[in-house]
Homo-oligomer: A and B are copies of this chain.
């Protein structure tokens, strides 16, 4: 019965501060998802007696110990031999792993360094956990200490190798060995436009205690909501679907995706699907909207151009904003962004254009237009919209939030939804 876990993070690169340990965070999240209680994370450098201390301490505290790091080919990689020493077993070379390693090196046409063979040595009695993306496989083995059996799970430290091994091998294994016949069915909702507390409140009324575990996770500027239902497989999935339907009904205005997806992915997918061509005119966001959209492969299928007109002259020359508008209302005004969006759309020949202008700070604020004043406009053949927002935060937050609101407008436009319901920060 696996109820309690300890995570072991090892490596001098972590204890010297060179690298942030994101593995422990990823593993903590996965364990929380399948309902295993994380007792502690122990982090030590590549020092034999500290590694041994950490393993012994972890084994004494938990039903499962998951370790990352220390299984590479170098002399600093001490995890496998430490585990074997504690278990009192010898190392055995695994021929399947050797063959696989040789094939990997053959594919890239390079001779295999002999010290790589070390990575095919496992403590006697261990089960190999295959690593599809690297040369160091992991392993699992049981260990009996004072009548209590712990499971040791050893994974590499490289996140892109470790994560699929966790996802494809360890999580299913843990699910199966939790000692119950229940599973955890999980659904993630990506939202934008509601505060964390408003979202919490909206959902609280929908889900009765015991029906599901509700988790909120804010990664500014979007907030994801995670529903976890425990039960027998078919039942848990049916229940989850029912709850998901309730959630969709309640927060549909603010729900932009289910599963792992960013706002820019959603916008890109919609624009390709609807065969819409996009033009952007940015001022305060300085290129961030274009940057975010072009981070997603395939953006050249719908994005024609993004004119970052930082100076007033550029707004006039490149977008045709009238000097009278700039004089009378200023560059940060709904009047100006409307002309920016209209000018961008016509000059670039797009179906729709979005424009931003604002005061990102820390300087440049006035009593009428304090730092955080942001105007956004959308222009298309049918729909035209503009709005002034008062945002709060640092320069990068204001840029990021503005880009998010602009992307959300584009999403709403593509879906035929009303524009402008997405505001967290109203005038």
A126 at the interface (CB under 8 A from B): no
Query: Within 8 Å CB of A26, what residues of B?
Result: 17
- B295 in contact with A399 (CB, 8 Å): yes
A54, A307, A361 interface centre (most CB from chain B within 10 Å): A307
The residues of B that contact A43 with a CB separation of less than 8 Å are 24, 40-43
A280 to chain B: closest CB distance in Å? 8
| Residue of B with least CB distance to A216 | B18
Min distance, Cβ A168 to any Cβ of chain B, angstroms: 19
Give the contact stretch, choosing among A30-38, A71-79, A253-261, A408-416: A30-38
A186-223 Cβ-contact flags toward B at 8 Å (1 or 0): 00000000000000000000000000000101000000
- Within 8 Å by CB of A297, from B16, B30, B395, lies B395
Interface residues of A, count at CB 8 A: 74
A53–B28 CA distance with the chains assembled, in angstroms:
20
- A289 within 8 A of partner (CB): yes
- CB contacts under 8 Å to B, within A97-144, are none
Q: Chain B contacts of A22 at CB under 8 A?
A: 20
A residues 367-415 in Cβ contact with B at 8 Å:
395-396, 399
Which of A237-245, A312-320, A334-342 is found at the contact surface with chain B? Answer: A312-320
Take A17-B29, A54-B40 as given contacts and tell me if A310 and B314 are in contact as well, using a CB distance cutoff of 8 Å.
no
Neighbouring B residues of A303 by C-beta, 8 Å = 286, 310-311
Partner of A286, one of B15, B306, B317: B306
Q: Does A330 contact B (CB under 8 A)?
A: no
Copies of the chain in the assembly: 2
Known contacts A40-B43, A286-B306; is A21 also within 8 Å of B18 by CB? Answer: no
Chain B residues with CB under 8 Å of A318's CB are 305, 307, 318, 347-348
Q: How far is the CA of A399 from the CA of B293 in the complex (A)?
A: 12
Chain B residues closer than 8 Å to A217, beta-carbon distance: 18
**Interface residue A164 (Cβ < 8 Å from any Cβ of B):** no
* B308 and A290 contacting across the interface, CB-CB below 8 Å: yes
> Does A25 sit at the interface, judged by CB under 8 A?
yes
* Chain B CB within 10 Å, residue with most, of A40, A42, A313: A40
- Name the B residues within 8 Å of A14 (CB-CB): 25, 28, 41
A362 in the interface (beta carbon within 8 A): yes
**Residues of chain A having any CB pair with chain B under 8 Å:** 9, 14-22, 24-32, 38-45, 50, 53-54, 57, 215, 217, 280, 282, 284-291, 293-295, 297-300, 303-311, 313-314, 317-318, 347-349, 360-364, 395-396, 399
